[in-house]
Amino acid sequence: MAFSSLRDASSGLLAALKKRPRIRRRTELATVPDISERKNTIASLEPLIKVVAPYLDSSDIERIREAYKLADEAHLGQFRSSGEPYITHPIAVAAICGGWKLDAESLMAALLHDVIEDQDVSKQEIAEKFGTDVAEIVDGVTKLERLHFDSRSSQQAESFRKMLLAMSRDVRVILIKLADRLHNMRTLDAVKPEKRRRVARETLDIYAPIAHRLGLNALYRELQDRCFKAIYPNRYEVLRKALLAARGNRREMLTKIHRTVKSALPAAGIEADIVGREKSLYSIFRKMVEQKKTFSDVLDIYGFRIIVHTLPECYLALGTLHQLYRPVPGKFKDYIAIPKINGYQSLHTTLIGPFGTPVEFQLRTHEMDHVAEEGVASHWLYKDDTVSLNDLQKNTHRWLQSLLDIQSQTGDSSEFLEHVKVDLFPDAVYVFTPRGKIISLPRGASPIDFAYSIHTDIGNQAVACKVNDTFVSLRTELKSGDMVEIITSAAARPSVEWLNYIRTGRARSEIRHYLRTVRYEESVAFGRRLLEKAFAELNMPIPADDDAAWERLAHSSGADSRAELLADIGLGKRLAAVVARRLAPDHSLVETTAAAVDEHTAISSAPIVIHGNEGQAVQLAQCCGPLPGDSIIGVIKTGHGLVVHMTECSVAQRQHSKEPDRWVPVVWDTETARHLSTRLDVTVLNERGVLGRLAAAITDSNSNIIHLTMPEDGEAAAQLHMTVQVDSRNHLAQVIRAIRQIPQVQKIVRVKGHR
């Protein structure tokens, strides 16, 4: 029963309700433990007050006490699986948020974060008592336990979607949720092993990566280690004991390095704090699994962190270390000049220690160290909107905005969660635009990911890519430091094949959105063209859009609407001639359906006019690359629409012999699309500069190379396989003539089928 509905109740009824335990909704809270099992834990607010008193004023602390009173009353009679009063959980969550120095609204929301979900306190009541901000944050953290879903996975996905979208409006939502999950992980031993593993896997898949993405590295490491312990308790224990043993074995080496560095830095005029750094158990475990190493083979378990006062001192300290010990080539990383996507800044270098063991050093300022541990929580400002955002906050804002962009393109919660998971990869590569702007992408990202990160239209119209001024395939994996340039064409469209090698959630959602909407609309338009042509063959006008026969035919064919029926025609799932005959007045719908007309035998004889820019409904075959002026033929391919081949294409001839009934006559329109692709094999003498002269000749002919492959150096004559953009067969002839003018060119052949 909601608190708002209790206000008008009699005082006697209210007193009675307060005496009895409240209804508990969570599985682990469904059974109140016996008195003998309950722990004598006193749920005091004072530990939280001690944490927040140094940075909050007395009025804020008083508001926090009021929120505690409501939470304590709401959770009265409720216990956790451990037997502790439930109120101890929100107090602990608020204390974690207090450690991040979050504002009073955040701490109040942390104390109240379960009252809507568990105890039917209304959002409106929270807003009336504590303000709209607190109510919105609590609502964002609340799960969707009360709604009906087909499965637990769909419920979980919808909960994440709601939480992440609330987080995109106010990042405090996710900070409280992370604090909530951290305390749950710290007290996970009280629940059953099966649930323990499920919660740990969920944390490892979603919450730990989000913590890393927001720069909360201390939280990230703790969540990972606790998940590791919950999922693989035996492996965790074995590895923990091995780490303790190794710590003792390497104490002499680490002590010697510490003494040497501690004396060398002041001698160079650098005042620094030197602390030992130990790799987390989960990081060691993951490295052993991924690199197939034993524990003794993992040499970078221990290292040092050097914290200085100013940025120049980071580089001065680095030079001092490199004079003490020999650096390992290729093991230096400058995350100060190019920070990680989560705002992390530091210098990393690996040195060969006094006993020949590699030792990693991290060098950073005190401010960088603060951000490295607490991330976005370390500098998030809520009270003063006039304060300019730092780079970390700007990056976080951009990521949160990208969640809204993905949501606008995605209706399904599971698909939305899939896209977000893709964006939570901890590793990243940093590439440059032609103007020198740095773009961060997940490791393994392709030029398509880069294109969509710049703008949706650039991604949708991408046809080729240059990496470091060299043409490469759109599926090429980008590396840090690459300079990437995307070449676009107004006639280009996204391909479903791109989904096989993209990495970012934005690119995946944009491509799927295009394939669902634009491709569908193109298929409907092309299907109507095919149907109009079929009716013309019958010397009849096509029925009006509101003709009842459309609805009858759609339902009898298993389609939901006239538009879906036309889309099926455009995609080749139905043949226009059959649909036209079923709709014709002299052919009864029932009679035609009962006659079971074979849809593979009713191909119209009049040619279909091809523009070349119909989109996904009409595709020019990649095997032969037909151009305006070529003799062409088309095949209705199920799920792909009309695929146009050259008449002499060897692939088309083989397919035609197998399925002759699916082929239709097609002709080029008088005005066709520009920048169509075709392939050439060019044999040249392998001399210096020949590739440059070849590219210049093609460019001078108003054409463009979009793909090029060539053999390894050393062969006297090399055969180049290239794809070029031209407007027509005549334009291609001009390009070929220009290429033949190059003395080193021995042979040029247009490819009209598979090589």
**Cα–Cα distance measured from residue 316 to residue 404, given in angstroms and rounded to the nearest whole number:** 43
Higher per-residue pLDDT: 538 or 197: 197
CATH topology of domain 676-750: Alpha-Beta Plaits (3.30.70)
**For the residues 95-108, what does the mean pLDDT come to?**
88
Nearest alpha carbon to residue 63 among 92, 93, 88, 94: 94
All structural domains of the chain with their residue ranges: 3-235, 236-377, 427-516, 518-668, 676-750
Average pLDDT, the chain: 76
Q: In angstroms, how far is CA 408 from the centroid of its own chain? A: 14
pLDDT at position 322, please? 92
Structure tokens at 47: 């530990």
Higher per-residue pLDDT: 401 or 740: 740
Cβ 62 vs Cβ 159: under 8 Å: no
**Cα–Cα distance measured from residue 209 to residue 214, given in angstroms and rounded to the nearest whole number:** 9
pLDDT at position 313, please? 93
Structure tokens at 539: 């010397």
Q: How confident is the model at residue 399 (pLDDT cuts 50, 70, 90)?
A: low
Domain 3-235 has CATH 1.10.3210.10: yes
Strand-pair partners of 643: 619, 635
pLDDT of 182 over the 60 cut: yes
Structure tokens at 465: 């890519």
Location of structure tokens 């793909």: 707
**Cα–Cα distance measured from residue 470 to residue 431, given in angstroms and rounded to the nearest whole number:** 15
Q: How confident is the model at residue 587 (pLDDT cuts 50, 70, 90)?
A: very low
Decide which of 3.10.20.30, 3.40.1050.10, 3.40.50.720, 3.40.1480.10 is the CATH code for 427-516. 3.10.20.30
Cβ 731 vs Cβ 713: under 8 Å: no
Cβ 226 vs Cβ 178: under 8 Å: no
**Cα–Cα distance measured from residue 116 to residue 613, given in angstroms and rounded to the nearest whole number:** 54
Helix (H, G, I), strand (E, B) or coil at 687: coil
Among 141-145, 181-185, 497-501, the range with the most confident prediction by mean pLDDT is 181-185
Q: How confident is the model at residue 702 (pLDDT cuts 50, 70, 90)?
A: confident
pLDDT at position 62, please? 92
Q: In angstroms, how far is CA 245 from the centroid of its own chain? A: 40
Higher per-residue pLDDT: 363 or 84: 363
Structure tokens at 672: 């066709």
Q: How confident is the model at residue 277 (pLDDT cuts 50, 70, 90)?
A: confident
pLDDT at position 375, please? 65
Structure tokens at 481: 């430091």
**Cα–Cα distance measured from residue 185 to residue 74, given in angstroms and rounded to the nearest whole number:** 23
Cβ 335 vs Cβ 390: under 8 Å: no
Nearest alpha carbon to residue 720 among 744, 752, 753: 744
pLDDT of 114 over the 60 cut: yes
Q: Poorest-confidence range of 183-187, 436-440, 458-462?
A: 436-440
**For the residues 332-357, what does the mean pLDDT come to?**
83
Percent of the chain at pLDDT > 90 equals 14
Nearest alpha carbon to residue 647 among 661, 667, 662: 667
Give pLDDT tens digits for 221-262.
899 999 999 999 999 999 888 888 877 777 778 888 889 999
pLDDT at position 32, please? 35
Q: Which of 192-212 are b and which e, b meaning 16 or more Cβ less than 10 Å from the residue's Cβ?
A: eeeebbebbeebbebbbbbbb
Strand-pair partners of 273: 307
pLDDT of 121 over the 90 cut: no
Active-site residue numbers?
A: 117-118
DSSP states along 352-365: E-TTS-EEEEEEEE
Q: How confident is the model at residue 153 (pLDDT cuts 50, 70, 90)?
A: low
Cβ 717 vs Cβ 683: under 8 Å: yes
pLDDT at position 29, please? 34
Burial of 420 (0-12, 13-18, 19+ CB in 10 A): buried
Cβ 429 vs Cβ 480: under 8 Å: yes
**Cα–Cα distance measured from residue 129 to residue 117, given in angstroms and rounded to the nearest whole number:** 18
Domain spanning 236-377, CATH architecture: 2-Layer Sandwich (3.30)
Q: To 10 degrees, what angle do helices 58-74 and 123-130 make?
A: 150
**Amino acid, res. 10:** S
Domains 3-235 and 676-750 share a fold: no
Q: How confident is the model at residue 117 (pLDDT cuts 50, 70, 90)?
A: low
Structure tokens at 442: 């997940």
Structure tokens at 611: 């523009």
